Amino acid sequence: MAYALIALGFVLALNAAGAVNFAHGDLVVLGGAVAVVAGVSLGLPGLALLPVVAVTLGAAGFVAARVAILPLAGRPPEATFVATIALAAIVEHGLTVGLGAAPLAAPSLVGSGSLEVGGLALGRQPLAILLVGGALVTAVWFLLERTQTGRRMRAVSSDRYMARAIGIPAARYIALSLALAGALAGIAGLLLGHQFLVAPTQGAGHMLKAYIAVALGGWGSVPGALLAALGIGFFETFVSAGLGDAWASAALYVGVLAFLAVRPQGLFGEPAGRRA
Amino acid sequence: MRPLDLFWLVVLLLPPVLALTVLPPFGQRMVTLVGVYALMGLGYQFVFGQLGALNLAQGALFGVGAYVAALTSPVLGFLALPAAVLAAAVPAAMVAGPVLRLQSHYFALATLALASLVNLVAVNAESLTGGANGISGFASSLPRGTTLLMMVWACLIAGVLLAAHLFRGSLGEGARLLREAPLVAATLGLDGGRWRLVAFVAGGAMAGLAGAFSAAVSGVVSPDVTGFSIMVLCLTSVVIGGARHPMGAVVGAMLAVCLPEMLRDFQGAWLLAYAAATLAVVLWAPAGLAGAIDRLRRLPAPAARPAEMPARLPAVGGPRRLVLDRVVKRFGGVDALAGVSFALERGEIVGLIGPNGSGKTTLLNVVAGLDRADGGTIALDSVNLERLPPHLIARQGLGRTFQTPMPEGESRASDLARAVSTDAAFLLLDEPAAGATDREREQLAMTLRRLRDAGRGIVIVDHDIDLLTRVCDRLICLDGGRVIASGRPAEVRADPAVRTSFLGLPAAAA
Amino acid sequence: MTATPLDVGDFTVRAGEIVALLGGNRAGKTRWLETILGFRPAQKPVVLFGQDVSHLPVERRVTMGVGYVPAGRRVFAGLTVRETLEASCWLPAPARRRLVDEMLALFPMLGARPQARAWLLSGGQQQMLALARALMNRPRLLLLDEPALGLAPGVVDGLLGHLRELAGNGMAVLLAEQRAGLALRVADRAVVLSRGRILRTAPAAELAGDPTLADLMAEG
């Protein structure tokens, strides 16, 4: 479910910016780090961290849009790639300098232990992740599909020029999309940070999985990315339960290479939005 | 790319000379490291700088080179170095086939997945790689000290000079076209896939060599050498130095090695500073530091040399006849071309007219192979073109010019000159007169007549009917993807159907 | 509302008037429209509704009351008809929904498929959507770039009918068109362009009967 949040933010940023945001994984890590700092130094309980992380990382996403994405709007996508890779490195090394390279544990959301539900023992943390993740995905869906702001964000993603021609301040909406993506990444970082700890070097791995999910789910497709992210999560869980983590990751990467060799245009081809 | 002048030659030769004469062993080691990173960066410039593709596997290939050198040197001795080159080049060549066809965002993903796979093997295949502990104790079988320094810098200097020399001429021009205007490149007969393959493999081989050298420098190889941070270091140093400057990789590597020494008191801060500098360079100095230094030295920016029309146009040979038979092209449910047939001989100019959306540009695209026909045949003499990729069609003797987009600083005249320079027997010209002044139009008309007299066949699309009337032997009018009139210019212009469709005027008003 | 909706120095468009901008491909029609909207820098001041807007960004000019129907329609592929219309409206929600319903009633082609994604619509439906979208902020000046391109004759007649009706209600319309005969059927005045320059400005009736028009335009 946390993968789904990462992939969701990744695809939102991708659609708005028109280019891959390589710093997305490091925003996830940054979210975890904020949770660690706020949880330990301020002693905030897990649930109270949610808004703190969301607001901080939303601001980080906004800054990312302002410094690395909007100024490069007129340049080829490779320029944005490099700028966001640099941004990713800034976050990673900034965290290393600030917090050290050793992994840290983020506070859990609602304490540890498990609940008895219908005879099944469920961990409280996984359950909380599931609930928070589900709520956020639903909220984003509602925003995009049922509100004026969401419609306009989609219009900007679809055709930036035309969106301006109907009066939408496109730059502001792109920054907004990136802020939303950042908030989702940060919350994912908070959710993952308890079980898998937070280390500055994890960013590339998070980004790669979101990238894979978007490529498998159909470039730019929000539901496709969500489904693919959940699929990757299940796949990893099962393969690593049987064969170990390394084999699970290896199988995933080989699978992606094979997939791209067979279908260079992605699973569903490019969505219609890119034809316009 | 500009040739290296005296200034840059001095910059290139100074570090090894200093290292061999005055620097202490510690300084020598740093100079060697600069050479190692510069070598990897130089290889990276081929794919990323020259062809503009974001390759994220260079760091992993560097790591492969390091591991192979560490594993084979006890047996092979110095021969471990060529073994490392091979070990990096062979997998690069193997994956290159499928990977290089991908669009930019999938290319980045595929190379990233490849790199992650290499890293995974380094960490987990403990019996081979020693796992997280890595491998050590091999350094005595590899070159060391000043020998190593001289080998590294000999390779680097040779590489820089060779690359600067190669990319100065037509190779650099070809790379620029592939990067900025892939369609133009294809219609000139450049095979983009092959170029990328060579660049990817050559760049990978250099990464392997650099990796082997790095193993020799440090004496230890751990999974870190295959990690993403090496890749980021390579990318950022090339961007900071100047992705397309012949000295970009060297300048970037110098900074990458010297900065950590200068910021030694702040653990890790140099990487932070380096990343911030990369972002600043992307935003404000896309030509990199080497380019910025050239600007400070008041050298003019390396301008693309626009192709010029040769003073004499030699007669061309090649196929005699271009024949289109019932060519169909559909977009969605719309027939952009609904069965177009005509023939064109060498030494003839045919003008193609018709309202917006009538299928003129589509027709040129289909003939040049940029769009695939859904039906009908297109043949140059007995060779059928409709299934060939654009660069092979171009090599059959068919050139094409474009409306847009043109690489920066180019004119239509140079676009035409470039198409002419391929000695194509047939030329397809898309609005060569658009935006031209009256005088330029006159020159264009003269050029077209000279090309015809030199035995070329020309199809020209333009809206300047007066120009077409003067130079064309025949006019063909398209509307709704069909030929609605064809014949001598005056006849076609007077044709009531043409007047109605082209101008939307009622026939009677003409 | 007494100020002239559009004044670019070389020509004006007054309320209730349809002005045709005639010229062949690359004569500069789109360039003119984009300059008026602010996508390109202007040589001379652009005056909208009596105000010099040369320094304002595109989105500010549009919300002053300009509707734009671009060349190639450029509908938002993934949005439905209804979503497109809502996104283009700057009124509060209840008024917005009322206006969307009005628009769907005005264009029966769209009213039949309000939930269809734009990229699944036919060319004619997409053109109507582009027009309806431009009308959603109740513009007083409408700019159209070759709206009739690729449409069946019947659909073109419907489109021109809409334009005449809009002008009848006081809207100022600037219609860029290559096919002079078609545009002159609805226009009051026409501006003939060639290679970006204005060759001639004249009442539509005068140009329609002018045998030199064809040659004038062919120069482009």
Ranges of beta strands (E only) in B99-213 are 135-136
- Average pLDDT rounded to a whole number, residues B435-456: 84
In the structure encoding, which two tokens stand for residue B200, read together? 């990817």
pLDDT at residue C173, as a whole number:
97
Residues of B whose CB is below 8 A from A211 = 109, 112
β-bridge mates for residue A123, sequence order: A114
B183 and B73 together in one domain: yes
Asked if the model's pLDDT at residue B250 lies above 90, the reply is yes
Contacts with B279 from chain A: Cβ below 8 Å? 67-68, 83, 86-87, 90
pLDDT at A128 over 70: yes
CA–CA distance, B500 with A166 (Å, rounded to integer):
35
Q: Considering only CB atoms, which chain B residues are within 8 Å of A99? A: none
Query: Does B39 map to a domain?
Result: yes
Residue of B334, B465, B509 lying closest to C218 (CB–CB)? B465
Owning domain of residue B115: 6-226
Going by pLDDT thresholds of 50, 70 and 90, the confidence category of residue A118 is low
State yes or no: pLDDT of B407 exceeds 60: no
CA gap A156, A164 in Å, rounded = 8
C178 to B355: CB separation less than 8 angstroms, yes or no: yes
Residue B510 with chain C: CB contacts under 8 Å = 211, 214
Domain boundary among B188, B209, B226: B226
The encoded tokens of residue B168 equal 């100065």
Contact residues for C101 (Cβ-Cβ < 8 A; gap 6+): none
Instruction: Give me the half-sphere count of Cα atoms (radius 13 Å) on the Cβ side of residue B392.
Output: 9
Q: A272 and C59: CB-CB below 8 Å?
A: no
Q: Are strands B482-487 and C51-52 parallel, antiparallel or unpaired?
A: unpaired
- Residues C193 and C22 sit within 8 Å (Cβ to Cβ): yes
Q: Residue B405: is its pLDDT beyond 60?
A: no
Residue B377 located in a structural domain = yes
Same domain, B221 and B351: no
Residue A113 has pLDDT above 80, yes or no: no
pLDDT score at C60:
95
Residue bearing tokens 């594993």: B71
Nearest CA in chain C to A274: C77
- Residue A77: which of B95, B104, B113 has the nearest Cβ? B104
CA contacts within 13 A on the Cβ side of B395: 8
Residue A168 to residue C90, Cβ atoms within 8 A: no
In a domain, B260, yes or no: no
- B226, B248, B267 - which closes a domain: B226
B212 & B327 share domain: no
Instruction: State how beta strands C189-194 and C197-203 pair.
Output: antiparallel
CB environment A126-145: b (16+ within 10 A), e (fewer): eebbeebbeebbeebeeebe
CA angle A7, A13, A14 (to 5 degrees): 85
CB contact under 8 A, C214 and B434: no
Instruction: Say if residue B54's pLDDT is above 80.
Output: yes
What local confidence, expressed as pLDDT, does residue A274 receive? 35
Contact between B505 and C213 under an 8 Å Cβ cutoff? The reply is yes
What is the predicted pLDDT for the residue at A172? Answer: 95
A256 vs B98: CA distance, rounded Å = 12
**How close A243 comes to chain B (CA, Å)?**
13
* For residues B17-29, average pLDDT: 90
Inter-chain CB proximity C76 and A155 less than 8 Å:
yes
Which phi and psi (to 5°) does residue B4 adopt?
A: -75, 130
Alpha helices, DSSP H, located in chain C: 29-37, 58-63, 81-87, 93-106, 108-111, 123-135, 153-168, 180-184, 204-208, 213-218
Phi, psi values for residue A238, rounded to 5°: -75, -45
Domain membership of residue B81 (yes or no) is yes
The predicted structure's pLDDT at residue B58: 93
| Nearest CB neighbour to A151, from listed C70, C79, C90 | C79
Q: Which of A24, A63, A82 to mutate to test the interface with B (most CBs of B within 10 A)?
A: A82
The token duo for B241 is 């130095």
Mean pLDDT lowest among A39-48, B299-308, C50-59, C178-187: B299-308
The answer to whether the CB atoms of A246 and B124 lie below 8 A apart is yes
- The answer to which of A169-178, B50-59, B92-101 has the lowest mean pLDDT is B92-101
Q: Which of C181, C168, C81 is nearest to C121 (CA)?
A: C81
- Which helix (H) or strand (E) segment is B321 a member of? strand B321-331
Q: For B463-499, write each residue's pLDDT tens digit.
A: 778 889 999 999 999 888 899 999 999 898 888 888 7
Q: B204 is written with which tokens?
A: 């990978």
pLDDT at residue number C161: 93
A81 touches chain B (CB under 8 A): yes
Q: Which one of B103, B124, B228, B265 would you mutate to disrupt binding with A, by most A Cβ within 10 Å of its Cβ?
A: B228
> Among B464, B465, B503, whose Cβ lies nearest the Cβ of C179?
B503
Q: For the sheet containing B375-380, what is the strand order? A: B334-345, B321-331, B375-380, B383-384
Q: What is the tens place of the pLDDT at every residue in B103-130?
A: 777 888 888 999 999 999 998 888 888 8
Contacts of C135 in chain A (CB under 8 A): none
Residue B479: strand pairing partners = B482
Of A72, A97, A260, the CB nearest to B98: A260
Whether residues A72 and B106 touch (CB distance < 8 A) is answered with no
Query: Would B313 be classed as within a structural domain?
Result: no
B198 in Cβ contact with B112 (< 8 Å): no
Query: Where does the pLDDT of residue A276 fall: very low under 50, low under 70, confident under 90, or very high at 90 and above?
Result: very low
Q: What is the pLDDT of residue B419?
A: 81
Shortest alpha-carbon distance between residue A113 and chain B (Å): 33
- Cα distance between residue B157 and residue B145, in whole Å: 18
Question: Is the minimum CB–CB distance between B106 and chain A shorter than 8 Å?
Answer: yes
Give the H or E element holding residue A56: helix A46-64
Give the span between the Cα atoms of B500 and B508, in whole angstroms: 9
Q: Is residue B33 part of a domain?
A: yes
What is the pLDDT averaged over residues B272-300? Answer: 86
Q: How confident is the model at residue C62, as a pLDDT?
A: 95
Question: Left if phi > 0, otherwise alpha if psi is -120 to 50, otherwise beta: which for B131?
Answer: left
Residues A15, A177 contacting (CB under 8 angstroms): yes
Averaged pLDDT for residues C133-151: 91
Separation of alpha carbons C36 and A165, rounded Å: 11
Q: Are C78 and A151 inside 8 Å of each other by CB?
A: no
Q: How far apart are CA B134 and CA B227, in angstroms?
A: 13
Mean pLDDT, rounded, for B360-378: 89
Judge whether A250 is closer than 8 Å to chain B, CB to CB.
yes
Q: Among residues B231, B251, B254, which one has the least CA distance to residue B242? A: B251
The structure tokens 């969701």 sit at: A8
Distance CA B415, CA B185 (A): 11
Of B124, B416, B196, B268, the residue nearest A94 (C-alpha): B268
For residue C184, give the nearest of C31, C11, C20 by alpha carbon: C20
Phi, psi of B23, deg, nearest 5: -75, 145
| Contact criterion met (CB below 8 Å) for B455 and B333 | no
**Residue B493 covered by a domain:** yes
Which of these three, B171, B202, B226, is where a domain ends? Answer: B226
What mean pLDDT comes out for the span B347-352? 92
Contact B236/A204, CB-based, under 8 Å?
A: no
Q: Is the dihedral of CA B445, B447, B448, B453 positive or negative?
A: positive
Q: Is the pLDDT of residue C218 over 60?
A: no
Residues of C within 8 A of A164 (CB-CB) are 39, 57-59, 62
Q: Which residues of A touch C59 (CB under 8 A)?
A: 164, 167-170
Q: Which of A260-269, B318-327, B477-486 has the lowest mean pLDDT?
A: A260-269
Domains delineated in chain C: 6-74+137-218 (3.40.50.300)
| Per-residue model confidence as pLDDT tens digits over B186-200 | 888 888 888 888 889
ipTM over 0.85: yes
Reading across the β-sheet that carries B474-479, which strands appear in turn?
A: B398-400, B426-430, B457-461, B349-353, B474-479, B482-487
Residue A237's CB: how many other CB atoms inside 10 A?
Answer: 11
Q: Which of residues 45-84 of B touch A (CB under 8 A)?
A: 52-54
The token pair at A145 is: 């599909």
- Is residue B65 within 8 A of residue B38, CB to CB? The reply is no
Six token digits for residue C199? 């060759």
Residue B279 lies in a domain: no
C-alpha–C-alpha distance, residues A97 and C20, integer Å: 64
Same domain, B33 and B156: yes
**Number of inter-chain CB pairs under 8 A, B vs C:** 53
Inter-residue contact A33 to A99 (CB < 8 Å)? yes
Instruction: Work out the percent of chain B whose per-residue pLDDT is above 90.
Output: 30
- Cα(C45)–Cα(C54) distance, integer angstroms: 6
Q: What is the maximal distance between C-alpha atoms in chain A?
A: 59
pLDDT band for A137, please (50, 70, 90 cuts). Answer: very high
Is the per-residue pLDDT at B244 higher than 70?
A: yes
Residue A271 scores a pLDDT above 60 = no
Question: Which of C26, C208, C214 is facing B463, going by the closest CB pair?
Answer: C26
Domain count, chain B: 2
- Chain C CB contacts of B334 below 8 Å: 123, 150
3-state secondary structure B335-353: EEEEEEEEEEECCCEEEEE
3-state secondary structure of B245: coil
pLDDT tens per residue across span C163-177:
999 999 999 999 998
- Nearest CA to B102 out of B47, B50, B46, B53 is that of B53
